[in-house]
């Protein structure tokens, strides 16, 4: 999956994305309140919330890598 495809899926806020990277369970869950999305992200026992999908995609949150970097390397499962 390309980074732009992943960004589109995440920004739709319709399904959670889960994956494993560097031996750690990881994922993104979207929550929408008053039409404003918040993306809850985890990697192992690290947690962080994002309110901007572009920042989420570029933040090196996953063992020093961003979702933009990981998009072509790993498989994402939609829940």
Per-residue pLDDT reduced to its tens digit, 25-68: 999 999 999 999 999 999 999 999 999 999 999 999 999 999 99
Tell me how far apart the alpha carbons of residues 78 and 6 are, in angstroms, rounded to a whole number.
11
Predicted local distance difference test score (pLDDT) of residue 78 = 78
**What is the count of structural domains for the chain?**
1
**pLDDT over 80 at 79, yes or no:** no
Q: Is the pLDDT of residue 12 over 80?
A: yes
| Residue 50 belongs to domain spanning | 3-78
Compute the distance between CA of residue 74 and CA of residue 42 in angstroms, rounded to an integer: 16
12-41-55 Cα angle (round to 5): 70
């Amino acid at each position: 999956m390309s980074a732009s495809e992943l960004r589109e899926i995440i920004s739709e806020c319709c399904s959670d994305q889960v994956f494993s990277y560097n031996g750690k369970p990881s994922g993104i869950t979207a929550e929408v309140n008053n039409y404003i999305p918040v993306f809850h992200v985890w990697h192992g026992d690290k947690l962080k919330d994002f309110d901007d999908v572009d920042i989420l995609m570029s933040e090196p949150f996953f063992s020093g890598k961003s979702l933009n970097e990981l998009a072509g390397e790993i498989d994402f499962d939609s829940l």
